[in-house]
Structure 1
Amino acid sequence: MKKIAVLTSGGDAPGMNAAIRAAVRAGLYNHLEVYGIIRGYKGLIDGDIRRLESKDVSNIIQRGGTILKSARSDEFRTKQGRDKAYENIIKLGIEGIVAIGGNGTFTGAEIFMKEFGIPTIGVPGTIDNDLYGTDYTIGFDTAVNTALDAIDKIRDTADSHDRVFFVEVMGRDSGYIAIQTGIGGGAEMVMVPENPDSIEGVIDTLSAGRDRKKSSSLIVVAEGEDLGDAHYISVKAKEMLPHMDIRMTTLGHVQRGGAPTALDRILGSRLGLAAVEGLLEGRKDVMAGIINDQVVYTSFHDSINLKKPLNKDLIKMVNILSI
């Protein structure tokens, strides 16, 4: 193998630049030519592919977002679009791809590899932490810390005004950000899709807090919560507890930005290196991950389709510590 390419696709995540930097420098260390594909699969179709040298990835490890940029590509979902992408790969003689992203990124990579045989290794870059085959995904730790900083500030105003706040955090169909943020922020309740919730349960929690003379309460809601979003739940709670001052805040995309934490910088660096080393070892159609502090490779099929369970002990912890 003499030439590889790196791309980022799907939602951006803090630490992606660390992974790009590691993949590029690992490639150069092993005497490979390394190319950067701009805007993910869209750039692969458009031929927006540039050779990268060590200086191109200098001073990026501390930056959020991705220097290679990211974009959705409906055209890549079509056979015609993937044919164009393959033509551009062949023109440059690229023999392996490092694909940094989440579930959708790996789905595209798996299809592309099966059709054209280009060895591809995925690097899990998503704040949602929802990919099977790794303890943590790149960007998750930063997102939790960003959300926690906001929740600490909301807690101040909630306490000052004797208010109840429902705070919605990101995570798609996963409750990982919500549960970690809720524990770290001392929330009275955390609502996640992995655990059944009810409006009655919310009312019981708030009422119990009132009976214990709690002046304020904070409930963290995952955006994928089956019961509904934070706005819907807060409205229902207000209807049943009209005497309480209830407010709602959605943190939104602020959780995807900002400088990555040390953990995400190190994780991105380890996985970017592992992806290149995996290609050189002849691996393909797999995601590089970290389990119990060891690099592991999991098939795209499993990382995409197997459910990553949420530790139910964490939900139990919220209930115990909120009394």
Structure 2
Amino acid sequence: MITKLGILTSGGDAPGMNPAIRGVTRYALDKGIAVEGILRGYEGLLRQESILLDQRSVGEIIHRGGTMLRTARCEAFIHEDAQRQAVDFLRSKEIEALIVVGGDGSMKGAQCLSRLGMPTITIPGTIDNDMPGTEYTLGFDTAVNTVLQSVNKIRDTAYSHERVAVVEVMGRHAGFIALHAGMASGAEAVLVPEHDVSLEELCNRLYESHQHRKLSSIVIVAEGAMSGSDVVSYIKEHTYLEPSLTVLGYVQRGGAPTALDAILAGLFAQKAVDCLCQGTVNVVIGLLQNRLVATPYTETDRMHFSIDDNMYNLLHQLGK
């Protein structure tokens, strides 16, 4: 039975990180395990920045976006010397295991520490929903709802001015946000990294829609598929339509977590602490077929999940 654990948040912030910190802290304390919060992710490990967490220090954060522990990207952490320095600091604080909340890069950092003898567990937290070992990551539902709210407002203007509204969203390597927000908002088309982009085909679809008296359209573009400005330029050059561009940017990362993200954060936190108590370490907590599971890091490489192609095809069928 461990007596003290550490927790950090790393990489891009995601709604749900604060509820995860709260869940880990309060559930661990209830089991008699002390909790040390590492500030600013792996950078904080190297700077030796940490605070002891208690019931009250994690109060009033479940409804807040971002992360109370702050986060940072740390290029120096790719070097083994830095990783050993981090392990030495954790041991100096009598931390016996580390819980990392973050995305794929954060999990790789956790794997490095585990290879050096520091047991770790990763809780998936990234709005892109693109981590191996889990079908869902904290922050995704909140990000989709943020995009949906924005697209619904943009549609009002597109309709009023009879325009094509191109909305660029996050998703460098995966199109989950674009697809789910597009499906929920009734977008006419989405462009995602998982499917080849044909701007000629897009223009034909938009032109056909306008021929059938649809005088406004929404096109959602994942940043990894193509830049929104390139899409707008092509539409302007090859059609008579009047496109406009909105790049949503970091607004997608912020905001209070949805009920789904807050609930799953608590369940992920409980699963992580229970795993530590049972001696199950060096795993990523995940949601697979609506079941909470803990998958060893060594098995995650074969567990990558892509967008739902049926949903992708259906969106474009319904958007005609």
Fold shared, TM-score > 0.5 on shorter chain: yes
- Check conservation: 1:106, 1:304, Cα contact below 8 A: no
Whole-angstrom CA distance in 2 between matches of 1:253 and 1:319: 27
Q: In the alignment, which residue of structure 2 is the partner of 1:79?
A: 80
State the secondary structure of the residue aligned to 1:190: strand
Quickly say closer, same or farther: Cα 1:305–1:72, change in 2 above 3 A: farther
Residues 154-191 of structure 1 show CA distances to partners (whole Å, capped at 9, x for unaligned) of 00000000000111111221100000000111100011
Q: In the alignment, which residue of structure 2 is the partner of 1:67?
A: 68
State the secondary structure of the residue aligned to 1:63: coil
Q: Partner letter of residue 28 of structure 1? A: L
State the secondary structure of the residue aligned to 1:66: coil
Whole-angstrom CA distance in 2 between matches of 1:32 and 1:273: 13
Structure 2 gaps of 5+ residues are none
How far has the Cα of 1:300 moved from its partner? Answer: 2.5
Task: Output aligned runs, 1:1-323, within 5 Å.
Answer: 1-114=2-115, 116-225=116-225, 228-241=226-239, 243-303=240-300, 306-323=303-320
Residues 49-104 of structure 1 show CA distances to partners (whole Å, capped at 9, x for unaligned) of 11111111111100000000001112211122112211111111111111000010
- Check conservation: 2:113, 2:119, Cα contact below 8 A: no
Q: Partner letter of residue 103 of structure 2? A: G
Could you state the TM-score of these two structures normalised by the residue count of structure 2?
Answer: 0.97
Whole-angstrom CA distance in 2 between matches of 1:304 and 1:68: 29
Q: Partner letter of residue 231 of structure 1? A: S
- Check conservation: 1:131, 1:304, Cα contact below 8 A: no
> How much is the aligned-residue C-alpha RMSD, in angstroms?
1.2
Give 4+ residue runs of structure 1 displaced > 6 Å after superposition.
Answer: none
State the secondary structure of the residue aligned to 2:154: helix
| Aligned residues between the structures | 319
Residues 257-310 of structure 1 show CA distances to partners (whole Å, capped at 9, x for unaligned) of 001100000011110111111111111221001223221112324446643121
Deviates more, 1:272-281 or 1:252-261: 272-281
- Check conservation: 1:119, 1:283, Cα contact below 8 A: no
Quickly say closer, same or farther: Cα 1:317–1:267, change in 2 above 3 A: same
State the secondary structure of the residue aligned to 1:248: strand
- Check conservation: 2:133, 2:304, Cα contact below 8 A: no
Whole-angstrom CA distance in 1 between matches of 2:233 and 2:48: 49
Could you state the TM-score of these two structures normalised by the residue count of structure 1?
Answer: 0.96
State the secondary structure of the residue aligned to 1:82: helix
- Check conservation: 2:172, 2:223, Cα contact below 8 A: yes
- Check conservation: 1:103, 1:304, Cα contact below 8 A: no
Quickly say closer, same or farther: Cα 1:75–1:305, change in 2 above 3 A: farther
- Check conservation: 1:164, 1:245, Cα contact below 8 A: yes
Whole-angstrom CA distance in 1 between matches of 2:297 and 2:177: 23
Deviates more, 1:72-81 or 1:6-15: 72-81
Whole-angstrom CA distance in 1 between matches of 2:56 and 2:280: 28
Whole-angstrom CA distance in 2 between matches of 1:307 and 1:224: 17
Whole-angstrom CA distance in 2 between matches of 1:302 and 1:177: 26
Whole-angstrom CA distance in 2 between matches of 1:246 and 1:305: 41
- Check conservation: 1:169, 1:250, Cα contact below 8 A: yes
Q: Partner letter of residue 145 of structure 2? A: N
How far has the Cα of 1:20 moved from its partner? Answer: 0.4
Quickly say closer, same or farther: Cα 1:50–1:305, change in 2 above 3 A: farther
Whole-angstrom CA distance in 1 between matches of 2:41 and 2:300: 20
- Check conservation: 2:83, 2:112, Cα contact below 8 A: no
Identity value in percent? 42
Structure 1 gaps of 5+ residues are none
